[in-house]
Structure 1
Amino acid sequence: MLKRLWSKKGETDSQATLPIQPDNIPEHIAIIMDGNGRWAKHKGLPRIAGHHTGMKTVKRITIAANDLGVKFLTLYAFSTENWKRPKDEVEFLMKLPQQFLELEIEELMENNVQVRMMGDKDQLPPHTRKAVEDAMSRTANNTGLVLNFALNYGGRLELIKAVQAVAEQVQNGQLQVDHINEDLFSTYMQSKEMPDPDLLIRTSGEIRLSNFMLWQLAYSEFYFTDVYWPEFSEAHFMAAIQEYQRRARRFGGV
């Protein structure tokens, strides 16, 4: 089973010879962009250099996803736990959305990409929040790929807030307990306007969810690779989709 989930460095060349099935492209792909710091360490560079290079990977994969016809791309950019990192690293990470969006907004507009965000915006520095809100406003009418940044996001916090909202409506008599089901509860998720991810990709060799989209990933296909995020190429992305296309998705059925 592990072999079906895991891609080692060097496997991409053999996988890339397999054709992509255009009628079986994941509608929603979620990515845990991991390994920026370790990539930088291996290069003898400061951790922030890895984050800066990783930003370039975001552009490459966004364009690749858009070209393939992926409808939603959710990128785990900063978790609620990442505030525990060194102060200078956190400050740098909070500048990256502003840098990326300012540099790439014109190309995002040209490619009809719509920017969204899920996570707690209230804790973000004003410059980060403004950059994201401006990009969301400017691209709101675009109808192509939805580029969704999970920024200051935590799956458990999302679930707790959803439960609180449901409980409040029950307490106020706005909702009956026996009306609560999966479909209803999903409308309280921050991803309510998107389908659940078909495919989750995590780079850098780690095999865990790290508090990411815990509700939404219940039946997603998982793909783990040793490749660090700054090195994750279009070919690696294609290899993940090719592996996805080899899977039989039964959603608990036969």
Structure 2
Amino acid sequence: MSRRSSDTANGLLYGLYQKRLRRDLAGVGPGSLPRHVAMIIDGNRRWARQAGMTTVAHGHRAGAAKMREFLEWCDDLGIEVVTLYLLSSDNLTNRPSSELSDLIEIIAELADDLSRYRDWRVKHVGSTAGLPERLVGSLADAEKRTADKKGMHINLAVGYGGRKEITDAMRSIVAAHSAEGGSLETLADLLTPDLIGAHLYTGGQPDPDLVIRTSGEQRLSDFMLWQSAHSEFYFVEALGPDLREVDFLRAMRDYSRRQRRYGS
């Protein structure tokens, strides 16, 4: 069999398998699919190096394009909330300035693109500390432009760190309590997981049911530490830009077959 014939046959088999997965998911019961999916896109730099690209920016741009596809897959399956981990607070200090400059531009473009696509609602989750004005403006514009939309809710985790988020939540609680004239003794009585959760960047949103990470790495990297306490996890070997819809559908099928225990 020629290479072209082999590729055609593989493409046909892939398409049939993808359709079968979609049929399987169409038949699952209510509540069997996640309401909120969080995605750690990883491997963009490795993808660029393996492809012989001149800069890793090519990998980040390919990863951003893949994230729009990923959001389409989620939307088509009825997922209500998706959080994309795009730039950590640690990245702001541990990445070369040239790479960081390219990545910031790519994220700004992605935020603008997503805010003009479908009926999606975009929100920035993270701190603006250390982010350039251009990116802060793009994220704010995307939020404002989509504030009245009723479709899938998209969190863009930019300048995000899980430990910083919890710290910021506690500071917010203390500041609000102090402004109301409360004492430390009464504050201690008021502190509950629900109160802390309400002051997180994602306050008012459901916690992620499923956290997906690409590139085969199996760690959280300071992502949604509080919110993922009872999340399910799914790790994909594919590098970020190589993620396929069939990988996503497998993750959804796997989730639908799990029995969630919520720590019990």
TM-score (ref. length: structure 1): 0.88
Structure 2 residue aligned with 1:50: 59
- For 1:170 and 1:65, the matched residues in 2 are separated by 39
Structure 1 residue aligned with 2:240: 229
Structure 2 residue aligned with 1:141: 148
- For 1:56 and 1:167, the matched residues in 2 are separated by 41
Residue 121 in 1 paired to residue 128 in 2? yes
- For 1:43 and 1:140, the matched residues in 2 are separated by 39
Structure 2 residue aligned with 1:64: 73
Aligned length: 239
SS in 1 for 2:154: strand
SS in 2 for 1:218: helix
- After superposition, residues 90-109 of structure 1 pair within 5 angstroms as 90-106=100-116, 108=117
- One-letter identity of the residue aligned with 2:84: L
Structure 2 residue aligned with 1:207: 218
Structure 2 residue aligned with 1:26: 34
- Among 182, 196, 204, the residue aligned to 1:173: 182
Contact 1:60/1:233 (<8 A) preserved: no
Structure 2 residue aligned with 1:4: none
- Among 194, 199, 205, the residue aligned to 1:194: 205
Q: Which has the higher contact order (CA 8 A, sep 6+)?
A: 1
- For 1:116 and 1:169, the matched residues in 2 are separated by 23
Flag the structure with larger Rg. 2
Unaligned runs of 5+ in 1: 1-12
Identity of aligned residues (%): 35
Structure 2 residue aligned with 1:10: none
RMSD: 2.0
SS in 1 for 2:195: helix
SS in 2 for 1:223: strand
- Among 85, 90, 94, the residue aligned to 1:76: 85
Instruction: Give CA deviations for 1:198-219 in whole Å, capped at 9, x if unaligned.
Output: 0000000111100001000000
- One-letter identity of the residue aligned with 2:204: E
- One-letter identity of the residue aligned with 2:232: E
- For 2:172 and 2:71, the matched residues in 1 are separated by 33
- Among 167, 181, 184, the residue aligned to 1:160: 167
- One-letter identity of the residue aligned with 2:73: A
The CA deviation at 1:237 is 1.1
TM-score (ref. length: structure 2): 0.85
Structure 1 residue aligned with 2:95: 85
Contact 1:205/1:224 (<8 A) preserved: yes
Unaligned runs of 5+ in 2: 1-13
The CA deviation at 1:105 is 3.7
Contact 1:50/1:230 (<8 A) preserved: yes
